[in-house]
Structure 1
Amino acid sequence: MMLKDKIAVVYGAGGGIGAAVARAFALEGARVFLTGRRLASVRAVAEDLEVAEAAEVDALDERAIDSHLDSVVAKAGRVDISFNAVGFPNATIVGVPLTELAAEHFSQPLTEYGLSYFLTARLAARRMVAQESGVIMTVTALHSRTGLPLVGGYGPAMAAKEALTRDLSAELAPYGVRVVGLRPQGMPETRTIKDAFEPRAKASGLTWDQWLDLLAARTHPRRLMTLAELADLAAFIASDKASGLTGTTVNLTMGSLDD
């Protein structure tokens, strides 16, 4: 197993991506600590995994994150993997033209996504630097690299996370800590793609199937990635088998974006 005896913390574990990654980590031998803003959804994921514990942690609350990491280290001795899959859906942002978007709604994704990633990464890094090993990971989207209409501040927010990945790696790599991002295009099983579809449906008249076909047509295999595929890749990247990979966001758009 690629992650045998590794200690992983997953933020946003109650969502589709976080839950899938947590399962993949557990299947590869990791002991997984799951967190989320709603304990019930995180606990439901943990109940399926014999090597997981659930906790209610707001990934925008520095004290809550720090306290939880202290408890993880007290129980498991260290933190090997920090995976941020936190999402902040807001129906008042997606689907609104930039010319009509309120300033506070534009800045909200930048603040929330960037701050959440910064806090979880920074606090994990403090433990990892001391042990001279660890992997910090997050998820972005193709918004970071290509212009898309009606996505508000999500594009700049994803680009900011990818820049932070590079900067974190530049500082942490000398201490044995890797920092890697994953950039999928969109997965039909996630809430994110559903949230993106609904406002566009009103504006474009597209059905759900037509929306998925439109997205899939941009990929080389003419299909969208599954959560299982993303999670398996996350487990590999978190493992020692990917020890040469850091300071980058892996393009998982299946050809929608050129490298």
Structure 2
Amino acid sequence: MLLEKKNAVIYGAGGAVGGALARAFAREGARVFLAGRTRSSLDATAEEIAAAGCQVEIALIDALDERAVESHANAVVRDAGSIDISVNAIRIAEPGIYGIPVVGLSLEKFALPITAYLRSHFLTTRAAAQRMSEQRSGVVITITGMPAQVATPGAGGVGVAWAGIEALTRGLAAELGPLGIRAVCLRSNAIPETTVIREGYDHRAKATGQTREEVQAAVEATTLLRRLPTLVDLANVATFMASDQANAMTATVANLSCGFLAY
């Protein structure tokens, strides 16, 4: 198994993306520590993982709370001995921050995702990196989307935040590489299985008089593979990047665009 004897902390593990990664890591032998703000969704993911005979723990954590993040990281190390993998898969779901032209946004709505995403990623990556530095090994994984790289109307502050996360990932890689710690990012195209993408397609469909399926088909037609990535695709790549098979990879952004980005 790719992640046998690894301890993985997944923030935002109650969401579609975080849950998919947690299940994939567990299947590959990792002991997974699920962190999030919603008990019901964390419990559902944990029950599925436990039913498969895998090791899982949950904790109610606000990834924007410095004290909570630090306390949880200490608890994981006390319990498991190390943090080998750290993933931040949180989602800022505040209405009115996405799908609106920049000139139509208030300062607060523009700044909210920038402040929240970067604060959370700073806190979680710092917590992991400090513990990993002591053991001189580990992998920090971040997740962004196409607006970090591609000119995207309606991305507002989200694209700016994701670009900042990618810059943070590269900076971490530069600082932590000599200690044997890798930092990598996964930049995914839209994943139709997620709530935010379904809602976005519904909104676009209503505005254009199309069906959600027609909107999705139009987006798929822009990719070389004529499809969009799935949660399984993302989880498979994340598992590989977290494993020792990717030991030569750091300071990089994996392209999961299905060929929308061709470089």
TM-score grouping bracket, smaller chain normalisation: over 0.9
2:145 corresponds in structure 1 to 141
Once residues 199 and 181 of structure 2 are traced to their aligned partners in structure 1, the CA distance between those partners, rounded to angstroms, is 34
Q: CA deviation at 1:205?
A: 2.8
Q: CA deviation at 1:212?
A: 1.0
Q: TM-score, normalised to structure 2's length?
A: 0.96
Compare 124-133 and 182-191 and name the one that shifted more: 182-191
**Alignment counterpart, residue 210 of structure 1, candidates 210, 214, 230:** 214
> Does structure 2 retain, via aligned residues, the 8 Å contact 1:95–1:200?
no
Q: TM-score, normalised to structure 1's length?
A: 0.97
2:21 corresponds in structure 1 to 21
Once residues 38 and 215 of structure 1 are traced to their aligned partners in structure 2, the CA distance between those partners, rounded to angstroms, is 31
- 5+ residue gaps, structure 2: none
What residue identity is the alignment partner of 2:103? Answer: T
> Does structure 1 retain, via aligned residues, the 8 Å contact 2:3–2:30?
yes
> Does structure 2 retain, via aligned residues, the 8 Å contact 1:11–1:84?
yes
1:74 and 2:78 correspond: yes
Q: CA deviation at 1:91?
A: 2.2
Secondary structure class of the residue paired with 1:245: coil
2:135 corresponds in structure 1 to 131
> Does structure 1 retain, via aligned residues, the 8 Å contact 2:202–2:211?
no
Deviation string 1:156-194 (CA, Å, 9 cap, x unpaired) is 111111111101101111111100000110111112212
> Does structure 2 retain, via aligned residues, the 8 Å contact 1:106–1:153?
yes
**Alignment counterpart, residue 175 of structure 2, candidates 151, 159, 171:** 171
Count of aligned pairs: 259
Once residues 90 and 206 of structure 1 are traced to their aligned partners in structure 2, the CA distance between those partners, rounded to angstroms, is 25
1:62 and 2:66 correspond: yes
- Alignment identity in percent? 49
> Does structure 2 retain, via aligned residues, the 8 Å contact 1:91–1:195?
no
Compare 200-209 and 1-10 and name the one that shifted more: 200-209
- 5+ residue gaps, structure 1: none
Deviation string 1:186-229 (CA, Å, 9 cap, x unpaired) is 11111221232243334333321012112211111101111111
Q: CA deviation at 1:89?
A: 1.2
Q: CA deviation at 1:232?
A: 1.0
1:43 and 2:43 correspond: yes
Once residues 124 and 201 of structure 1 are traced to their aligned partners in structure 2, the CA distance between those partners, rounded to angstroms, is 41
Deviation string 1:124-143 (CA, Å, 9 cap, x unpaired) is 00000010000000110011
Cα separation, partners in 2 of 1:229 and 1:53, compared to 1, 3 Å: same
What residue identity is the alignment partner of 2:26? Answer: A
Q: CA deviation at 1:49?
A: 1.1
1:225 and 2:226 correspond: no
> Does structure 2 retain, via aligned residues, the 8 Å contact 1:182–1:251?
yes
Two-structure CA RMSD over aligned residues (Å): 1.1
Q: CA deviation at 1:90?
A: 2.2
Q: CA deviation at 1:8?
A: 0.2
Once residues 159 and 153 of structure 2 are traced to their aligned partners in structure 1, the CA distance between those partners, rounded to angstroms, is 10
